[in-house]
């Protein structure tokens, strides 16, 4: 007789949603977290899109710990001396049922884990899972932890142990691990008064802004971001690992460079850095996704590379929560049918395939590579800002040039071949179209 029906490893969004789903069926579930409390070890940029929570916590917006509801989304292209912003605002996103919010992970993750505990899950913190216990036929039947007498058994283990999942790797479910599949997210939380944030970012009340930036990363492929919290802003960069290593630049220097850009400096001026953090992000989407299930074992969240990094869409927490929830549903069904083999757990794959989790990843499978390519990173921001500058610059008595001429001149100046431009346009259209 196992100690629990299900062991969930990691009390992040995936793990807590899995534990909450299982606990509500009356099955016994233990949620094991290595930090002293859920969220203490976690980090993201951070906007969370909690629509998937509708299925788990009706009217979650009334209790979720939110910093600001994102009502402005801005995409910014940066060169060394230019910037171009496309800004969108929707008042509807500032009212229920909302769209996305900035939140602090120690608050958000703790809240979600407590939901699981309220539903009957057992939460054990300050405990690290160190390995899997396998049965006579090689199936997973439990976990080892770093506590004395720390073995636990269960019918199913759901590994939500984050990026670099040691459990999935131990099981050989990550056959294609490659540094190029990961980016390094680095973030400074800068304290500013609410009034200053409201004024600089043109928002009021608990409305906030999400600015995604292409360029401004000191030549390292990646991107930048600025998010508004209530009394602070998050400024950071996401950097492709091989490029970062090749250029031997330090991430904090790259953030400093971003903050000193003429388009960014006025936004961060006078602020005090109150936190600096960094985390790996699984950004290669489908290309890096591990085998998602095995006998007695399911992989969810960042551990399963459930992170969508597709330029204009940068989402992770919603994919984590959904994959955790679906893993839990599959585990419950398998336990009820008394078949926790990979075949018995196959509902997980089906649920992922039938919903946005794998559909979005499949549709946008080419996007991460395109967005992080050298042309998109270094040439197109210069091309687009150059064209816009050509449009708006007044060179009287020279008459205004036509748009086609400006584009042609800029393309030639930057050495962009028409074939490459066309190829990328097609890839972009197939991804985002």
Partner 1 sequence: MTPVIGVCVKWIGSQPNSGHEADARFAQFSASDQAALETALQRAEQLSGRVRVVSVAPAAARTHLVALCASGAHELVHIAAEGQSSSAHVAHELAQHLQECASVWCGDYSLDRGSGSVPAFLASTLGAQQALGIVGITSSEVSNTLDLLRRLDAGRREIVRVVEPFVVSVEGSLATLRRASLASTLRPTATLVDASLVSQSAPSFGEFSPFRPRPRTIAAPVGETALDRIKSATSANSPQKHSEIVTLAPEAAAQFIVERLTEWGYLS
Interface residues with partner 1 (CB under 8 A)? 30, 36-37, 40, 106, 110, 122, 124, 127, 145, 147-152
Q: What is the CA radius of gyration of the chain?
A: 23
Please check whether residue 183 is in contact with residue 309, taking contact to mean a CB–CB distance below 8 angstroms.
yes
Among the listed residues 161, 231, 224, the one whose alpha carbon sits nearest the alpha carbon of residue 187: 224
Residue closer to partner 1, measured from CB, 5 or 283: 5
Find the shortest distance in angstroms from Cβ 422 to partner 1: 54
Using the minimum distance from each CB to partner 1, give the nearer residue, 143 or 347: 143
Integer Cα distance of 131 and 357 in angstroms? 27
Residue 377, C-beta contacts closer than 8 angstroms, at least 6 positions apart? 214, 215, 217, 221, 222
Which two tokens mark 92?
Answer: 């509807």
Contact at 8 Å (CB) between 304 and 290? yes
Per DSSP, what are the bridge partners of residue 189?
234, 275
Q: Give the shortest CB-149-to-partner 1 separation in angstroms.
A: 4
Supply the minimum distance, in Å, between the C-beta of residue 234 and partner 1: 18
Structure tokens at 38: 């859920």
Q: Which is nearer to partner 1, 107 or 252 (CB)?
A: 107
Length of the chain, in residues: 433
Nearer to partner 1, 124 or 414 (CB): 124
Of residues 6, 20, 13, the one with CA closest to residue 320: 13
Question: Would you call 432 exposed, middle or buried from its count of C-beta atoms within 10 A (0-12, 13-18, 19+)?
Answer: middle
274 CB contacts (<8 Å, ≥6 apart)? 189, 190, 191, 232
Question: Burial of 24 by CB count in 10 Å (0-12 exposed, 13-18 middle, 19+ buried)?
Answer: middle
Task: Show the tokens assigned to 19.
Answer: 């534990």
Are 34 and 322 within 8 A, CB to CB?
A: no
Chain-centre distance for alpha carbon 1: 38
In the bound state with partner 1, the residue whose beta carbon lies nearer, of 2 and 219, is 2
Judged by beta carbon, residue 143 or residue 263, the one nearer partner 1 is 143
What span, in angstroms and rounded, lies between the C-alpha atoms of 8 and 31? 5
Q: Which is nearer to partner 1, 29 or 163 (CB)?
A: 29
CB of 155 to partner 1, least distance (A): 17
State in angstroms the smallest separation of the CB of 37 from partner 1.
4
Q: Is the peptide bond before 97 cis (omega within 30 degrees of 0)?
A: yes
Least distance to partner 1, CB of residue 150, Å: 4
Question: Between 127 and 218, whose beta carbon lies closer to partner 1?
Answer: 127
Residue 99 or 130: which CB sits closer to partner 1? Answer: 130
């Amino acid at each position: 007789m196992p100690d629990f029906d299900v062991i969930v490893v990691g009390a992040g969004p995936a793990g807590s949603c899995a534990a909450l789903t299982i606990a509500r069926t009356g099955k016994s579930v233990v949620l094991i977290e290595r930090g002293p409390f859920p969220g203490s070890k976690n980090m993201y940029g951070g906007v969370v899109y909690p629509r998937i929570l509708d299925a788990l916590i009706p009217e979650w917006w009334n209790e979720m710990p939110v910093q600001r509801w994102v009502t402005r989304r801005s995409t910014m292209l940066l060169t060394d001396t230019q910037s171009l912003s496309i800004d969108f605002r929707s008042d509807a996103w500032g009212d229920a049922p909302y769209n996305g919010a900035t939140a602090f992970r120690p608050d958000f993750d703790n809240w979600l884990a407590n939901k699981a505990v309220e539903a009957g899950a057992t939460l054990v913190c300050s405990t690290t899972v160190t390995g899997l216990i396998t049965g006579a036929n090689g199936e997973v039947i439990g976990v080892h932890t770093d506590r004395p007498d720390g073995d636990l058994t269960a019918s199913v283990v759901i590994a939500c142990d984050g990026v670099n999942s040691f459990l999935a790797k131990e099981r050989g479910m990550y056959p294609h691990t490659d540094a190029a599949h990961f980016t390094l997210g680095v973030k400074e939380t800068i304290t500013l008064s609410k009034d200053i944030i409201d004024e600089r970012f043109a928002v009021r009340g608990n409305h906030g802004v999400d600015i995604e930036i292409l360029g401004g990363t000191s030549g390292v492929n990646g991107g930048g971001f600025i998010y508004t919290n209530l009394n602070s802003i998050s400024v950071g960069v996401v950097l492709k690992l091989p490029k970062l290593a090749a250029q031997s630049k330090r991430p904090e220097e790259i953030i400093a460079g971003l903050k000193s850009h003429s388009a960014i400096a006025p936004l961060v001026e006078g602020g005090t850095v109150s936190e600096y953090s960094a985390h790996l992000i699984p950004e290669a989407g489908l290309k890096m996704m591990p085998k998602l299930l095995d006998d007695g074992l399911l992989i969810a969240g960042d551990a399963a590379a459930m992170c969508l990094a597709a330029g204009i869409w940068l989402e992770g927490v919603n994919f984590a929560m959904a994959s955790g929830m679906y893993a839990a549903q599959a585990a419950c069904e398998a336990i009820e049918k008394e078949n926790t083999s990979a075949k018995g757990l196959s509902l997980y794959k089906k649920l992922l395939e039938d919903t946005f989790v794998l559909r979005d990843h499949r549709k946008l499978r080419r996007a991460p590579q395109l967005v992080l390519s050298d042309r998109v990173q270094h040439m197109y921001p210069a091309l687009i800002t150059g064209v816009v500058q050509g449009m708006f610059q007044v060179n009287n008595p020279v008459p205004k040039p036509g748009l086609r001429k400006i584009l042609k001149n800029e393309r030639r100046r930057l050495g962009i071949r028409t074939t490459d431009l066309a190829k990328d346009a097609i890839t972009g259209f197939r991804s985002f179209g």
